[in-house]
A and B are shown apart, each in its own frame.
Chain A
Amino acid sequence: KAGVTQTPRYLIKTRGQQVTLSCSPISGHRSVSWYQQTPGQGLQFLFEYFSETQRNKGNFPGRFSGRQFSNSRSEMNVSTLELGDSALYLCASGPGTGADGEQFFGPGTRLTVL
């Protein structure tokens, strides 16, 4: 089985722009979670989707949004980029309907905001 894929792998944007990141989960997985990883703040939960529904949201401003499609692929969007949004954005997929069970992480998208 192919692993979790994320595109693009690297992205450079300037302040004020917006960006869309994509995540394709492992085939058959319906849960997708997004995390932001920075050296200072560690791994922070953004949101979790299951069957196109957002089940949980982290403490991020409304500039961060996401969605999940019927094929379980997910996108996250960040509008009006700020310098502090520079981070590694990771998505993780899970096989279960609940929240227990292994999360399989993708390689991440490295976002740099100039």
Chain B
Amino acid sequence: GQQVMQIPQYQHVQEGEDFTTYCNSSTTLSNIQWYKQRPGGHPVFLIQLVKSGEVKKQKRLTFQFGEAKKNSSLHITATQTTDVGTYFCAGRASGTYKYIFGTGTRLKVLA
């Protein structure tokens, strides 16, 4: 079945450093979504990518969708303590209504 792997599992960075998490799917995706979950909270939607090679930016966050629509990345520039949390990608295969979530990357930002 469809699998979505995410690396790294954990990342500790100094405040001000950059951070990147990568997401790889075993199957071609129709679209991919990114979520952030703060400790003790629930996932909150960040963005959705649909087109092959798409790049979207939200302030310090840059999201990319691979040309083959099987991989994606999230890059945070100059991390802040408010960026702490777990970042999940969620991919949907064509013809389905279910999202398979990646394993998540837990980000810790040291002040």
Contact = CB atoms under 8 A, between A and B. Distances in A.
B98 interface: yes
A104 B95 CA distance: 21
Interface stretch (B11-19, B44-52, B55-63, B70-78): B44-52
B99 A45 contact: yes
B88 interface: yes
A10 to B, nearest CB: 13
B42 A107 contact: yes
Contact of B97 (A55, A92, A108): A55
Given A43-B88, A59-B1, A103 B101 contact: no
Contact of A33 (B35, B88, B98, B104): B98
A105 B90 CA distance: 13
B61 to A, nearest CB: 16
B1 A48 contact: no
Interface of B: 1, 30-31, 33, 35, 41-45, 48, 50, 88, 90, 92, 96-104
A45 B42 contact: no
A104 B45 CA distance: 7
Interface in A23-67: 31, 33, 35, 42-45, 48, 50, 55-56, 58-59
A101 B48 contact: yes
Contacts of B97: 31, 48, 50, 55-56, 99
B74 to A, nearest CB: 16
Most buried by A among B43, B48, B88, B90: B43
A50 B44 CA distance: 21
B50 A100 contact: yes
Interface string A75-114: 0000000000000001010000001111111111000000
Contacts of A56: 96-98
A53 B5 CA distance: 30
Nearest to B44: A105
Contacts of B104: 42-43
Contact of B48 (A48, A90, A102): A102
